[in-house]
Chains A and B, each alone.
Chain A
């Protein structure tokens, strides 16, 4: 039966086909007529109009590039500015003997042969009356040298252009970022007209995330030229609108203090103004000098940065993932109180280790021999692991997950920088999805002391600490406080965060424990309570980098530096009226109390002193 379908009727097919050929011809003729009509319209009807335009098409449109907005810190200190850079340029048609001129210039200013070659190449591509650069970013000395002999070099002149400059260099490179030459990939997605005169674009940090505001609006000029396209005069100008100035919440002096305090270590410090959510300090050490990126960094220098073991290009504050260690304990303690898994007064016994029923594995306390019988306050003060193993076991992973999530763990903080890491707040579902395994009870225990799968960024830690200090009012950290453009100042403040419903008695219990960490006789960070007129609430943390075998002993002195524990510290002050929250992560720093806490102490001290003076 189906064979019938395959019998072809050739004469019918040909008839059909010829019909279609005719139809195609008709379509072609109609469309071609359309083209012809349009051509007649342009070339006969519009001829006079267009001939006039062609004659005037001596009118060229050239873009006028807006000045990029500056970036200031909260006290008006300049973080990113546009400084003039001088280059030596030659107009070939005005030079009588080019070879001689180049030779004399080379001798005078130490210009390399490569630079001369580059110039020659550029010159060939351009018209003879176009000014062509020979030497860029001239030093003061070179400027002076040339200025003296300038009358002897006709056609050679110094040109000025604005180059982005970052005064604070490596200290704030990770926050402010840098601008660099627009590359091909970026060009694709850019509005062509807006960037037709721009050579640079924000690549990282604030420079990147506020590119639209900083760039400004490109203007243009209609320029009359003669038949050889030589400039005659300007007919019309639409001035460019300069980019907006940005005022950050960052305090660059405080940033400097934190950066210097980290000297010798890798790590991050984030401090947040609790009243607003403004980020005061955003340090990732080591930093890098952003200035070479503006003019185009040499590939060897870039390679060196990329391959350095200290990874200076890595934004630790925003993207560094660390186990929070014991800094998670205040949050777990609060969860215990809120879910009524424990009361503040209840004492648990700590023999130095904890065993799950029916399991041989011993979950050890950092203190050999244990802390004895401890209540919540003591457990926080001395950072008793066993207390939190037991609390975690009672709470269970689901409750811990739900509670910690509210403080922003495992999700982006919402800061106005791109590239933020999520961190990792593990849950049963996560493990099922990622590892295709069920959740083990032991994993609940180590999550309770901030180890295991749990990973946080320093920024998340600071945000969570600020939220705790704020009694549950969620803080959204931000860097840009004010955007000021020519149309006036626009304040950009977003305080409306969610609020976590918390019992204030429970919060105060936890905060009391954190105060004891710094001010108690047995506090793990008691080293920083000297000479201060206010109280600091804090919590130390030590995050394992290397697993330690059952029964083996961790001896800091015997261990290679890169395997030493990370030192962490979270804090806020003054404890009774919190103004600043600080999170510190010192990679391979060893103990949170001895290495990380003093850095936070310095930042807090300086900030509170400054705000008292104002």
Chain B
């Protein structure tokens, strides 16, 4: 009797933990994501001109995304593996459909209107591409041979080019890196990696040729923002001013003057990091980076503990893509990378990217919480 009582005493504090475990939620990851989401809401409130509407809308999206994450965490990873090819194929077909419809509608289109909501196939392909590559490579002994390497490259290139054609350079970059991540973790030789880099570098003039005028502008602006104070350079100049004026401790929450005066364009979406840096300073930035790194580290740990090749490759690639997301966005806001349309993961305003990201974390949790003991 006594023993049972003591047992219960021990269990009571972690009842929530127990409940989460039953939901197949990974607690460290969950806590990290929750923290980031809270920071997101705080900073959006400030950047969006203290508009409650913005906050409520974002809150409902975050809620939906967490719900989806929980649902996915529940599914056995075997099911993900089983439907990898099907989902990937469907994603590619939808991308083609979007492109064709865009052509008919004579304008850039990224989404399919399903009546009650707009669906962006490019978001879904961000997850299904690494699933597909992981599924394909897991069929063979690792590291992959050159034949598998080339087939994987083609499988990555198809959705990437379709998205780049939309044109959505940022998403294309993320899709490519999610697939490339799988190849990297599958252990392709450094020689292959060097070959890819050299090929891409030599293709630069051709890519330049196919770029849209505004995309070229962005690249040119990156090299000399001051040359174009009215156009794209304005973003970079203003965001550097916002970040730099934040100093070590920042101007405090709601203290951003640059976004307030609308000097900082897109302050709620792609350039939200500038507002964060202005209000919370270097200290805040380091804190945020640490939080991001902790999440990534947890994901890589989950990958290292995974039970089969498919899970390992998928988990590690999702973790790596998440880092690419963070790096590209912050890099562009602080002016060390050209401006491509990549939001700051989990913090920027907008629903689609949050839903996709948390779906990815749902898969990671599923991998970690469904383990057979054999």
Q: Interface of A with B (CB < 8 Å)?
A: 5-9, 13, 16-21, 23-25, 28, 31-32, 34-36, 38-40, 42-44, 46-47, 49-51, 53-54, 57-58, 60-61, 63, 184-185, 188-193, 196, 218, 220, 225, 227, 229
Contacts and interface: CB of A to CB of B under 8 A. Distances in A.
Given A43-B244, A50-B243, A54-B241, A16 B282 contact: no
B45 to A, nearest CB: 20
Given A21-B185, A227-B261, A43 B285 contact: yes
B185 A17 contact: yes
Contact of A49 (B242, B244, B286, B320): B244
Interface of B: 106-108, 140-143, 184-185, 187, 212-214, 217, 228-232, 234, 238, 240-248, 257-258, 261-263, 277, 281-282, 285-286, 289, 293, 296-297, 300, 303-304, 309, 312, 316, 320, 323, 327, 330-331, 334-336
Nearest to B319: A24
B141 A5 contact: yes
A188 B108 CA distance: 10
Nearest to A31: B327
A44 B258 CA distance: 18
Nearest to B187: A16
19 contacts: A6-B140, A17-B316, A18-B304, A20-B185, A24-B185, A28-B323, A35-B330, A43-B243, A43-B285, A49-B244, A51-B244, A53-B245, A54-B257, A188-B108, A188-B214, A192-B231, A220-B229, A220-B230, A227-B261
B316 A57 contact: no
A300 B185 CA distance: 61
Q: Is the contact region of chain B dominated by helix, strand, or loop, or is it mixed?
A: helix
A57 B187 contact: no
Contacts of B331: 35
B244 A32 contact: no
B230 A192 contact: yes
A49 B303 CA distance: 44
Contacts of B230: 61, 63, 192-193, 196, 218, 220
Given A44-B248, A227-B261, 8 more contacts: A8-B142, A16-B143, A21-B300, A24-B320, A25-B297, A54-B244, A189-B212, A190-B213
A170 B285 CA distance: 63
Contacts of A24: 184-185, 300, 316, 320
B300 A193 contact: no
A229 B140 contact: no
A220 B241 CA distance: 20
Contacts of B217: 191-192
Contacts of A46: 240, 244
A128 to B, nearest CB: 15
A31 B328 CA distance: 10
Contact of A20 (B187, B213, B297, B334): B187
Contacts of A225: 261
A61 B228 CA distance: 11
A157 B141 CA distance: 78
A17 B301 CA distance: 12
Contact of B247 (A23, A43, A53, A191): A43
A28 B184 CA distance: 14
Contacts of B245: 47, 50-51, 53-54
Nearest to A184: B107
Nearest 8 CB-CB pairs, A to B?
A50-B244, A193-B231, A54-B245, A192-B231, A193-B230, A16-B187, A43-B282, A46-B244
Q: Is the contact region of chain A dominated by helix, strand, or loop, or is it mixed?
A: helix
Nearest to A25: B300
A46 B185 CA distance: 39
B281 A36 contact: no
Contacts of A188: 108, 212-214
B81 to A, nearest CB: 15
A25 B303 CA distance: 13
Contacts of B231: 191-193, 196
Contacts of A184: 107
B282 A39 contact: yes
B286 A36 contact: yes
B340 to A, nearest CB: 16
A246 B286 CA distance: 59
Contact of A193 (B142, B228, B241, B277): B228
A6 B139 CA distance: 8
Given A54-B245, A184-B107, A220-B229, A39 B213 contact: no
Given A24-B300, A34-B336, A185-B106, A57 B241 contact: yes
Nearest to B237: A53
B310 to A, nearest CB: 12
B241 A50 contact: yes
A524 B162 CA distance: 62
Contacts of B238: 57
A229 B300 contact: no
Nearest to A54: B245
Nearest to B247: A47
A47 B242 CA distance: 10
